[in-house]
Amino acid sequence: MRRRLVGAVLLAAVLAGTSATVEARTVVDSAGRRVEVPDRVERVFVAGGPASIVLYTLAPERMLGWSRTPSPDERAFIPERWAALPALGRLTGRGNTANVEVVLAAKPDVIIDYGALANTYVSLADRVQSQTGVPYLLFDGRLDATPAVYRALGDILGLRDRGEALAREAERLLADTDRRVAAVPAAERPRVYYARGARGLETGREGSINVESLARLGARNVAGEGLGSGNLVTVSFEQILAWDPDVIVTIEAPFAASAPADPLWGKLRAVREGRVYVAPSAPFPWLDFPPSVNRLIGLRWLGRVLYPARFTDDLRAETRAFYTTFYHRPPDDRQLDALLAGVPPARR
């Protein structure tokens, strides 16, 4: 009798646990889609690079893998147990590499994407969710939306305190940046060219998420002024020469190193006067590629580059604090030296 009673209790416990795993709730993502998600979300598949970063900062223990394998330079900034997660490919973006079979094999509770909310991405979310039966959530990748995304994801993952802590830090960084930029007269706001690609000829037009940091800092994006709104675009050197920007910022270290010796790029004032700046890039570039929450610390770097008399804080200390909070590992002195090489000094 006792054995039967114990067995009945165990069976009830198993059934209770099983029913709990299939309980669902409705959440509304940033695109306004109503999606049923499990009450407990433990396994998350990221749709692309931006989503992998925002999830890593919030809940690395819930990640099933990266969209691509971290490079050795990137792994040096990420605790090994998370750096060693497998590469599962991308569902979104140029050259997407994941497929439905990969998603199903990973057995995720949900899929998350983070970035633009254009119809293309909404359609992709609907299609993948229909094909896999896995809830697919799309979150707004604009900098302004960062605190709300952290709070929403924290709630979905059952990590409200962690989500709230990151949301508040994002709010602080954004508000402080806005306050400083608001005090910059229009005449002091530089004309900037953002150079991407090995030849520096790819850039972002007005409204592109890739140059959102420039807009946040009040810089005048020459491609936005010259080419109107849109996304990434390839331009000719003749066009850049006509713009003759005050400052060039890039995430391409080889391009920045070669530009001063290049007879064409040497015609630009920014190149001749040494105003070509390479954003730090490990473990994730501070300006773009991918445009995710990594751009928060990039606002401090870009502020120092464009307005050294207004962004005078200890960038070294700020970087260490940001990496500790968001990336789960503080950089050592050697890593800080490499990250902040070439940063102009504060002007007090």
Among candidate residues 173, 202, 225, the one where a domain is terminated: 173
Is the CB of residue 77 less than 8 Å from the CB of residue 308?
no
Percent with pLDDT over 70 in the chain: 94
Answer whether residue 124 is part of any domain.
yes
Answer whether residue 226 is part of any domain.
yes
d(C-alpha 289, C-alpha 295), whole Å: 10
Task: Please state the rounded mean pLDDT for residues 23-27.
Answer: 93
Strand pairing report for 34-38 and 24-28? antiparallel
Sorted by sequence, the CB contacts under 8 Å of residue 296 that are 6+ apart come out as 143, 146, 170, 173, 174, 322, 326
pLDDT score of 118: 93
Among candidate residues 108, 141, 173, the one where a domain is terminated: 173
For the chain, what is the domain count? 2
Q: Are residues 96 and 164 in the same domain?
A: yes
DSSP 8-state code for residue 84 = T
Q: Are residues 113 and 235 in the same domain?
A: no
| Range name among 3-17, 257-271, 302-316 with the lowest pLDDT average | 3-17
Q: Are residues 27 and 105 in the same domain?
A: yes
- Is a pLDDT exceeding 50 seen at residue 19? no
Q: Are residues 165 and 71 in the same domain?
A: yes
pLDDT score of 53: 98
pLDDT score of 95: 72
pLDDT score of 22: 54
d(C-alpha 11, C-alpha 3), whole Å: 12
Q: Are residues 26 and 109 in the same domain?
A: yes
Among candidate residues 173, 203, 227, the one where a domain is terminated: 173
pLDDT score of 20: 41
Q: Are residues 150 and 219 in the same domain?
A: no
Range of 305's domain? Answer: 185-339
d(C-alpha 283, C-alpha 338), whole Å: 12
Q: Are residues 107 and 231 in the same domain?
A: no
User: Could you tell me the CATH number of the domain that includes residue 153?
Assistant: 3.40.50.1980
Answer whether residue 192 is part of any domain.
yes
Q: Are residues 325 and 283 in the same domain?
A: yes
Q: What does the block give as tokens for 274?
A: 């040494």
pLDDT score of 1: 41
d(C-alpha 139, C-alpha 113), whole Å: 6
Spell out the long-range contacts of 61-68 with Cβ–Cβ below 8 A and sequence spacing 24 or more. Answer: 62/157, 64/88, 64/106, 64/108, 65/106, 67/98
- Where do the DSSP E strands lie in the chain? 24-28, 34-38, 44-46, 110-115, 136-140, 191-195, 202-204, 220-221, 232-234, 247-250, 276-278
Taking residue 322's Cβ as centre, other Cβ atoms within 10 Å add up to: 20
d(C-alpha 289, C-alpha 251), whole Å: 8
Q: Are residues 168 and 202 in the same domain?
A: no
Say whether 294 sits in a helix, a strand or coil.
coil
Answer whether residue 13 is part of any domain.
no
Q: Are residues 249 and 299 in the same domain?
A: yes
Supply the mean pLDDT for the chain: 93
Answer whether residue 293 is part of any domain.
yes
What count of residues does the chain have?
A: 348
Task: Please state the rounded mean pLDDT for residues 293-305.
Answer: 98
Q: Are residues 194 and 311 in the same domain?
A: yes
